[in-house]
Amino acid sequence: MTTSEPGAASANREPVFTLFACCIPVQGARRSVVCDLQRQSFQFIPNGLYEILSEHAGKTVAEIKAIYGHEYDEEIDEYFAFLLHHEFGFWSSDPERFPALDLAWETPERITNAILDVDEGSRHDYGAILRQLDDLGCKALEVRCFHRCSLRELRAILEAARHGRLRSIDLLAGHGPELTPDALEGLAREHPRISRIVVHSAPERRQMPPLRTGVTIEYRTEVIDSPRCCGQIHPGYFVVDFETFAEGQKHNTCLNRKLSVDARGEIKNCPSMTRSFGNVREVSLHSALAQRDFAALWSINKDQIAICRDCEFRYVCTDCRAYLRDAADLYSKPSKCTYDPYTAEWQPPADVPAGIHTKGAPE
Amino acid sequence: MKKRMESLDDKLFRPLTAAQQQRITAGFTPVTDTAITLRETYGEAHDYIRDGDNE
Ligand code: SF4
C-alpha cells in the first residue's frame, strides 16, 4: 500500500485518508458504491461512509469521530479498514498532491459506435454504409442479424469492413447449420476486428473458451428476432470503466455519438425508436446526423432521469431511452430496469432472468 | 442531518455474486473502446525493445 512521503511542510500534519483518484464514491438513495475505474469493479458502501468520504474528506479520523460525537467510533474504524483492504485509498499527509480525475469527456469522432440491424428482408449496401461510418470516425460496430444466417452473409458484411477504420465488430447472428464453432473461429481469424460473436436461437447454450486474440464466441438459446430484445438493464451489463463513467456525467451512456441503421435501412438514434432521419438508400449518414434533432438525446444523462438520479449505479449503468416507464416522458426510468434504488432491491432478484423467451418456450 | 453509520456486515453491502452479474440475454452494451484497443496497449507479448524509430 502506497503512503506518500510527508514533505517538510506537512511533517507535522496528521495523515488523512485519501482515495485513489480512480476510486470514486457515488451516492444512492439507500446505499452508495465506490467505483474502482482502474480495476473495473465496485463495492457497496453505506451512505454514512459516503458522507465521510465526501463531506469530511481531508479530515483526520479523530476529527471525523468527534464530528459524530464518538457514537460510531467502531464503525468508522471498520470503514477505513474496509477501504484499505480493497485498496481504494491510502493515508497521506499531503492529500493536495493527489487531485481528482478530470471527468470531462471529449472525443474527436462524430460517431463512436453504430448498430446495423439485418433480417431476411434487408437490402443493405454494406460497402456504402461502412464507408460512411468510417468517414464519421466510427470505432465500434454492432451487427445484429435477427434471422438464421449463412456464413456467406456474414462474410459479405465483414468484407465491407476489411479496409476500414473500425476497431471492433460485435456480431449477433441467428443460428444456422453453417455457424459451427470451427467456422466462426475461422471467421474471427480472417477478420481480426471481430471482438465477439453471439449466436442466438441455438439448440443449446455453449460458451467457447476465448480465442488467443481475446475474441469470445457464445451460443445462446434465447431468440433475438427483433430490436425489442434490447434495452435490458441488469448488473451484467454495467460497464465500470473510466470511459463510461466520464461519458455518463454529461451524456447518455447508450445513445451518445451513436448512429443506427435498422433492418429496413432507416437511420435512427436506436433501432428500437420510431423516429427516422431518412433511409440510408436516399439520405447519407452525414446529412442524417446534421439534422437538428439527431443529437437531441445524446445529452440526457442519468442525473436528469427520474429515479436513476437517485441510483448508485447511475454512472456505470448503460441507459435505454427507447423503452421507458412513461413513454410520454423522455426523462423517465428505463422500463426494463427492475431495480429500486430506494430499497436497494431488484424485482425479481438480479440472479433470476426476467421476461426472456428461450427457443421453443412461449413468450 | 448526519447519517447513521451502518455496519458493512449488513447484507445490503455484500458484493454481487457472479450469478447476479450474468447477462440475461445476449444483447450488447455500447462499446466505444474495445478489447482490441486494450490488447494493443497491454498485449502480453508486447515487444518493448523495438521502438520503431530506432529499428
Ligand atoms: S435505476 Fe436507473 S441507473 Fe439504476 S440500475 Fe435502473 S436504469 Fe440503471
pLDDT tens for residues A239-297? Answer: 999 999 999 999 999 999 999 999 999 999 999 999 999 999 999 999 999 998 999 99
Which residues are A144's β-sheet partners? A117, A172
Nearest-CA neighbor of A360 among A223, A224, A174, A229?
A223
Cα(A331) to centroid(ligand 1), Å: 12
Mean pLDDT of A345-357: 57
Give chain A's mean pLDDT: 91
Q: For position A12, what pLDDT does the model report?
A: 61
pLDDT of A163 higher than 80: yes
Q: Is the ipTM of this complex over 0.85?
A: no
Determine which of B32, B39, B41 to mutate to test the interface with A (most A C-beta atoms within 10 Å). Answer: B32
pLDDT of A5 higher than 50: no
Q: How far is CA A95 from the centre of its chain?
A: 31
Q: For position B48, what pLDDT does the model report?
A: 43
Cα(A288) to centroid(ligand 1), Å: 30
Q: How many Cβ atoms are within 10 Å of A12's Cβ, its own excluded? A: 8
Query: What parts of chain B have a pLDDT lower than 70?
Result: 1-2, 23-55
Any CB–CB contact under 8 A between A179 and chain B? no
Give percent of chain A with pLDDT exceeding 90. Answer: 86
Mean pLDDT of A181-209: 94
Mean pLDDT of A183-191: 95
pLDDT of A338 higher than 90: yes
Per the model's pLDDT, the better-predicted residue between A237 and B6 turns out to be B6
pLDDT of A45 higher than 50: yes
Q: What is the dihedral of CA A95, A100, A101, A106, to 10 degrees?
A: -150
pLDDT of A210 higher than 80: yes
Q: Which residue in the block uniquely carries the three cell numbers 428482408?
A: A121
End-to-end CA distance of chain B, in Å? 64
Contacts of A112 in chain B (CB under 8 A): 32
Nearest-CA neighbor of A311 among A229, A257, A235?
A235
The counts of H helices and E strands in chain B are 1, 0
Q: Which residue in the block uniquely carries the three cell numbers 477501504?
A: A83
pTM, rounded to two decimals = 0.85
Contacts of B20 in chain A (CB under 8 A): 235, 349-351
- Binning chain A into helix, strand and coil, the percentages to the nearest 5 are 25, 20, 55
pLDDT of A21 higher than 70: yes
Mean pLDDT of A164-180: 94
The counts of H helices and E strands in chain A are 8, 15
Within 9-28 of B, beta carbons closer than 8 Å to A belong to 10, 12-17, 19-28
Report the nearest atom of ligand 1 relative to the CA of A305. 2
Residues contacting A313, CB < 8 A, separation 6+: A26, A28, A33, A235, A238, A339, A341
Q: Is the peptide bond before A348 cis (omega within 30 degrees of 0)?
A: yes
Q: How many Cβ atoms are within 10 Å of B50's Cβ, its own excluded? A: 8
**E-assigned strands of A154-297?**
168-174, 194-200, 206-207, 216-219, 258-261, 267-268
pLDDT of A7 higher than 80: no
Q: For position B3, what pLDDT does the model report?
A: 73
Contact across the interface for A234 and B34, Cβ inside 8 Å: no
Contact across the interface for B22 and A113, Cβ inside 8 Å: no
pLDDT tens for residues A281-326? Answer: 999 999 999 998 999 999 999 999 999 999 999 999 999 999 999 9
Site to probe by mutation for ligand 1, drawn from A339, A342, A345 as the one with most ligand atoms within 8 Å of Cβ, is A339
How many angstroms separate the CA atoms of B55 and B50, rounded?
6
Cα(B29) to centroid(ligand 1), Å: 14
